[in-house]
Structure 1
Amino acid sequence: MKIFAEVTLIEMETLGALRRDHYICLAPDEHRRNLTVRDVPVNHLVGKRFWVGDVVLLGGRLNTPCRYLDPVTGKSVCDLLKHRSGLNCAILEGGDIKVGDEVKRST
C-alpha cells in the first residue's frame, strides 16, 4: 500500500532540540507538519497503525526536509532536520483530533 502524506507528524522534542542546541525556533507554518506530538518517537510508527483522537492513521515513510525551507524561513535547518523531519501518514478512518489527544498504538 502506498502511503500518501495525508497527515504529517513532527516530534516536539525535535523542535526543542533545534531551539536548545542551535537557537532556531520553527513556528508551525515554518515546519509545515500538521501535528506536533510529544513523547512519541515517530520513527517507531513507520508501518504501524495508530490513533490520534478518533482518527486512525497508518505510518508511512519518514519525511525529508525540503531544500526550500532554508531560504523561505531564513534559517539553516535542512541539514539539522535530516532523519528528524517527521512522518507521513495515511488516514485509515477519519474523525476528530483535539489539542492534547494521545497517540495510541494498535495492539
Structure 2
Amino acid sequence: MDPEHAPPTVASIHVAKGRRLPTRSVPSVEAEAGAGLVGDRYHGSRHRHVTIQSLPDLEAAAADLGRPVDPGLTRRNLTISGGDVPTKPGARIRVGDVELEVVRIAAPCRLLDDTLGPGAARALHARAGTVFRLLTSGTITVGDDVDLHPDTAPDPTP
C-alpha cells in the first residue's frame, strides 16, 4: 500500500500521573475498558479515558504559531500520524485491538499559552483532538494501526 493511502498509526503516547504534572512519553500503555489508561491522571474517571489528536492538526497549529508544537505539551494521550479524528459523540474507532467511542471534542486549555507560548490555545482551537471512552481493553503501542472508520470497513465478500 502506498504511504498516501496507508492507515494512520499511533505516533506517540503520553500519560501524566496528575493534573498539573508533566506528561511523559511511553512506548506502550495498558487500556482498561471503562476506566482509562493505566498510569494516567484520568484512569478511573467515568468518561474521559483517552484523548487523541493528529499530527497534521499539530502541524497546522505550529504554522499559525510560527513554532513547533510538541505533542507531549498539549497533554493529549495519543497522537496519530494522520487522518481526521472523529468528533461526533458515539462514533467509534479502533487503535490496535482496542475499541474506543467518542465522548466529545477536547477543548484546548488556556494553560497551553503557559506551556507552548502565547496564542497556543487559539492556534489549537478546533485542532485539540477528541475525548474517548474505552469500550475494550488491551495494550496500545506506538506504531499500532488506527482505524478511524471501523463501521464503514469494506465488505470482504464480493
The TM-score bracket by the shorter chain reads: 0.7 to 0.9
Q: Which runs of 4+ in 1 moved over 4 A?
A: none
How many Å apart are 1:24 and its aligned residue? 2.2
- Corresponding residue of 2:128: 85
> Residues 59-93 of structure 1: CA distance to partner in whole angstroms, max 9, x if unpaired?
12111111111123334211111111100000000
Q: Specify which of 23, 38, 46 is matched with residue 66 of structure 2.
A: 23
For 1:7, give the aligned amino acid.
V
Deviates more, 1:66-75 or 1:52-61: 66-75
* Structure with greater Cα Rg: 2
- Corresponding residue of 2:111: 68
8 Å contact kept, 1:11–1:36 = yes
Q: Specify which of 122, 133, 150 is matched with residue 106 of structure 1.
A: 150
Relative contact order higher in (CA < 8 Å, ≥ 6 apart): 1
- Corresponding residue of 1:39: 82
Structure 2 alignment gaps of length 5 or more: 1-45, 152-158
Identity %: 34
Query: SS at the partner of 2:60?
Result: helix
Deviates more, 1:34-43 or 1:5-14: 34-43
1:4 aligns with 2:47: yes
8 Å contact kept, 2:51–2:131 = yes
- Corresponding residue of 1:56: 99
User: What is the alpha-carbon distance in structure 1 between the residues aligned to residue 128 and residue 91 of structure 2?
Assistant: 18
For 2:61, give the aligned amino acid.
L
How many Å apart are 1:48 and its aligned residue? 1.1
Q: TM-score by structure 2 length?
A: 0.59
Structure 1 alignment gaps of length 5 or more: none
Q: Give RMSD over aligned pairs.
A: 1.9
For 2:150, give the aligned amino acid.
S
Q: TM-score by structure 1 length?
A: 0.84
Query: SS at the partner of 2:51?
Result: strand
> Residues 73 and 19 of structure 1: is their aligned pair in 2 closer, same or farther, counting only changes over 3 Å?
closer
